[in-house]
Amino acid sequence: MTHLNVEIKARTSRPVAIRQVLEKHEARFVGIDHQIDTYYKVANGRLKLRQGNIEKTLIHYRRPDQAGPKTSTVTLYYPQEDASLKQVLENALEVLVVVDKQRAIYFIDNVKFHVDEVKGLGSFVEIEAIDMDGSIGRARLQEQCNDYLRLLDIKTEDLVEKSYSDLIMASLK
C-alpha cells in the first residue's frame, strides 16, 4: 500500500504539554508503543522494519531532508507475527542503525501525532498528515501540518530535518 505523507519532526522540551493539547482537542489516543526500528542499507530511499506492540510494519519511503513539512512517498507492508522477516532482511541487507523509542500515538482525522522519547536523542513530536487514497492532496496536507505546528506551539528553531536514524548515526561519529 503506497500513500502520500507530509511530515514534520521537532525536538520538544514539552512532551507532557503537547499530549495535553492533543487530548484537549479530542485527539484519539491509540496508546504507548515501544518501537524498535531497524534501518537497512538500500540503494533508493529508506527501508526500516518497525517492531512494536501496536505498530509492526516494513516501511520504505523517499523523503528530502529539510526542516519543516517534508513530503514522502511511503509504501507499507504489514508482516506476520514472527521473526522470519527480520532474519531474511538481515541475511540479505546490511543493518544501518537501530532506533529504540517510546511513542505515544494520537490521531485527529487523517493526521497522526507521535510524542516520542528516543533513546540517546531525547524528546520529539511528529505530525504526519496522511493521504491514503489521493483524495486530500499535497497542498491540504501541508496546510494541516502548518495548522498543527501553530496549535502545538512548535518553534521554527525546534524543527528537525533529519530522521532519527541520521541523528543517531551522527551521534556515533
C-alpha 9: how far from chain center: 8
pTM of the shown model = 0.92
Segment-wise mean pLDDT, segments of 10 residues, the chain, 173 residues: 89 98 98 97 94 95 77 89 88 97 98 98 97 94 96 96 93 85
State the residue range of the domain holding 82: 2-172
DSSP string for the chain: -EEEEEEEEEE-S-HHHHHHHHHHTTPEEEEEEEEEEEEE--SSSEEEEEE-SS-EEEEEEE----SS-EEEEEEEE---SSSHHHHHHHHHS-EEEEEEEEEEEEEETTEEEEEEEETTTEEEEEEEEEESSSSS-HHHHHHHHHHHHHHTT--GGGB--S-HHHHHHHHH-
Check residue 121 and give its pLDDT. 97
Q: How would you classify the pairing of strands 56-62 and 70-77? A: antiparallel
Check residue 63 and give its pLDDT. 80
Check residue 83 and give its pLDDT. 78
Closest CA to 169 of 33, 37, 11, 12: 37
Q: For position 102, which CATH number holds? A: 2.40.320.10
Check residue 29 and give its pLDDT. 98
Number of domains in the chain: 1
